[in-house]
Amino acid sequence: AQSVTQLGSHVSVSEGALVLLRCNYSSSVPPYLFWYVQYPNQGLQLLLKYTSAATLVKGINGFEAEFKKSETSFHLTKPSAHMSDAAEYFCAVSSFGGFKTIFGAGTRLFVKA
Amino acid sequence: DVKVTQSSRYLVKRTGEKVFLECVQDMDHENMFWYRQDPGLGLRLIYFSYDVKMKEKGDIPEGYSVSREKKERFSLILESASTNQTSMYLCASSLVRGQETQYFGPGTRLLVL
């Protein structure tokens, strides 16, 4: 069985500050891990994904995430927040050959001017 | 660019009505999915399909059915809408199961009165 826990339903940062969104997963098989972003009134779009290659994954818009097997974590970071980063972010887990992708509950990021 | 379109952005229906939500993808993807999104619960899988005329129940199939007569089209049916089905419904498609990115439509916000 697989599961995802996102710590913090809301995160608020100032423009220019570090963004850190936390995600922990549980998986009995090697996981594939994803971060998706949802802007207001839109569907989800992929930010980045880990599929067993490099543990540090770079995505779009300056975001990156590091897969840490020992900590079962896949936290999302961005060095400097921009107002346009305000959105909801979802961490997700699946596995090779698996049909289902399990999504976390989401973290809404607020960026203050 | 992959495009997933959904028939309506907003829909208002009455309790007991039969509701059809349609989704079309233009990338010849094998897999299609229907999720519902509720605050604090993230995305929950209702049904998915890995081939034409094939369907599998997700985590919350009760009160829903689906139809996939053509590869590009996946319909979600609420046989008799109820107020607890008021939600955002997201359709997605992917080329390969598991490790592949899912591409999402913009969502249909359904209100059942």
pLDDT digits (tens, 9 = 90+) for B39-90: 889 999 999 998 898 899 999 999 999 999 999 999 999 999 999 999 999 9
- Test B58 with A43 for CB contact under 8 angstroms: no
Q: Which band of pLDDT confidence, cut at 50, 70 and 90, is reported for residue B100? A: confident
DSSP-derived secondary structure letter, B52: T
Partner-chain residue, chosen from A44, A95, A104, that has the shortest CB–CB distance to B98 = A95
Task: Tell me the pLDDT tens digit for each residue of A52-81.
Answer: 778 899 999 999 999 999 999 999 999 999
Q: Is A3 exposed, middle or buried (0-12, 13-18, 19+ CB in 10 A)?
A: exposed
Answer for the pair A92, A33: CB distance below 8 angstroms, yes or no.
yes
Partners of residue B40 in chain A, C-beta under 8 Å: 9, 105-106
Q: Which of A9, A36, A100 sits opposite B45 (nearest CB)?
A: A100
Q: Which 34-73 residues of chain B touch chain A by CB within 8 A?
A: 35, 40-45, 48, 50, 56, 58
Q: How far apart (Å, rounded) are the C-alpha atoms in residues B105 and A60?
A: 19
Collapsed DSSP state (helix, strand, coil) of residue A104: coil
Distance from A89 to chain B by nearest Cα, in Å?
Answer: 10
